[in-house]
């Protein structure tokens, strides 16, 4: 499917809408103010002034109104992994990503999300881009609309379960691979008979290692699966999944902060050690363990800080 985007002012937008008025259709989606359907082209206008043309006649119709906006992979972005198909960013893809693996406090969350080709411009209008360019506050605002619009699955591995499987010898790579596979299964089931063109996993392990981690699973997602680092910048499905996973992590951190009686910091730096020591002194080791990834070096550092404060 060909996609073309133009950006118009209010005056030109009215002209576009009047031109396609006889073929107007209803599209109840966030940000959409007008939609029309020709035999070979779908036209969607957004509040931002963008007009999206999709279909065999997209280039023809877009050329009537002005210069088109080209969508491409950000320059200067170096990725590792599979070579992606041509015009990959314009295809219908299920993407998956995770967060929380580098944080002492809080769970690991993984999300998978399906974005069809005809939803790409809507997803952009909702504010989705590489989640590393978004603040936590903005992601919290974006996520509800994404969840209402897209097929997705989000999984949260709480700290008690994480510590249990890690103590049994599971690496973070294995934990993540199992969660990704499960989230992808959920999304593909929700899609029913519809099939994505590809599945893109934000790469944290080589293909062989990933599949070795999940080799004992009864159902393994393999068809048209691609791996790439920095995948949130390669397709909006991974960017959307990254946002949904991040929001699940932030919500879990909020719950744990209430449980601890103080705001829990993210990451694994010295501030984390200090807060962990306070929780250790106030609530004891079992309570601290229940909200952290206990094998991190922060646990030992927090114990040392707490011991000095007891002296």
How does pLDDT run across 174-226, given as a tens digit for each residue? 999 999 999 999 999 999 999 999 999 999 999 999 999 999 999 999 999 99
Q: How many domains does the chain have?
A: 3
Query: Within a 10 A sphere around the Cβ of 297, how many other Cβ atoms?
Result: 10
Is 83 within a domain? no
Pair (301, 213) in one structural domain: no
Pair (244, 149) in one structural domain: yes
**Strand ranges in the chain using DSSP code E only, listed in sequence order:** 3-7, 32-37, 42-46, 50-54, 68-69, 93-99, 108-115, 151-157, 198-202, 225-228
Is 242 within a domain? yes
Give CA–CA dist 92/198, Å, rounded. Answer: 7
pLDDT given for residue 71 in this prediction: 47
Q: Which residues pair with 91 in a beta bridge?
A: none
Pair (19, 58) in one structural domain: yes
Question: What CATH number should be reported for the domain holding residue 33?
Answer: 3.30.310.10
Pair (130, 148) in one structural domain: yes
How does pLDDT run across 224-262, given as a tens digit for each residue? 999 999 999 999 999 999 999 999 999 999 999 999 999
pLDDT given for residue 1 in this prediction: 53
For residues 293-304, average pLDDT:
96
Give CA–CA dist 20/118, Å, rounded. Answer: 19
Look up tokens 């509040």; give the residue: 47
- Phi, psi at residue 232, to the nearest 5°? -65, -20
Is 144 within a domain? yes
Pair (164, 105) in one structural domain: yes
pLDDT given for residue 70 in this prediction: 46
Pair (134, 248) in one structural domain: yes
pLDDT given for residue 251 in this prediction: 97
Is 77 within a domain? no
The strand pair at 93-99 and 198-202 is best described as parallel
**Residues 180, 112 contacting (CB under 8 angstroms):** yes
Pair (110, 189) in one structural domain: yes
Is 92 within a domain? yes
Domain range for 285 is 261-310
> Both tokens of residue 54?
């999709």
What pLDDT band is residue 111 in, cutting at 50, 70 and 90?
Answer: very high
């Amino acid at each position: 499917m060909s996609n073309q985007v133009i950006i118009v002012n209010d005056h030109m937008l009215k002209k576009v809408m009047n031109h396609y008025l006889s073929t107007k259709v209803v599209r109840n989606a966030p940000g959409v103010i007008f939609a029309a359907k020709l035999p070979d082209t779908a036209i969607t206008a957004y509040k931002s002034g963008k007009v999206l043309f999709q279909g065999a006649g997209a280039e023809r119709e877009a050329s009537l109104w002005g210069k088109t906006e080209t969508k491409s992979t950000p320059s200067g972005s170096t990725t590792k992994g599979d070579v992606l198909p041509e015009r990959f960013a314009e295809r219908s893809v299920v993407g998956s990503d995770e967060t929380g693996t580098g944080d002492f406090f809080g769970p690991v969350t993984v999300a998978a999300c399906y974005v069809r080709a005809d939803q790409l411009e809507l997803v952009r209008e909702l504010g989705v881009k590489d989640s590393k360019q978004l603040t936590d506050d903005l992601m919290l605002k974006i996520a509800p609309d994404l969840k209402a619009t897209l097929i997705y699955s989000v999984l949260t591995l709480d700290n008690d379960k994480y510590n249990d499987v890690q103590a049994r010898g599971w690496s973070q790579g294995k934990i993540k691979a199992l969660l990704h596979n499960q989230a992808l299964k959920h999304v593909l089931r929700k899609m029913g008979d519809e099939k994505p063109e590809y599945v893109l996993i934000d790469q944290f392990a080589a293909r062989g290692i990933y599949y070795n981690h999940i080799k004992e699973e009864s159902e393994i997602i393999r068809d048209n699966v691609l791996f790439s680092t920095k995948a949130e910048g390669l397709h909006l499905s991974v960017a959307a999944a990254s946002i949904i996973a991040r929001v699940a992590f932030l919500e879990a951190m909020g719950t744990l902060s209430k449980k601890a009686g103080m705001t829990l910091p993210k990451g694994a730096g010295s501030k984390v050690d200090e807060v962990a020591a306070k929780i250790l002194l106030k609530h004891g080791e079992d309570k601290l363990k229940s909200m952290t990834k206990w094998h991190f070096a922060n646990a030992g550092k927090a114990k040392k800080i707490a011991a000095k404060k007891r002296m």
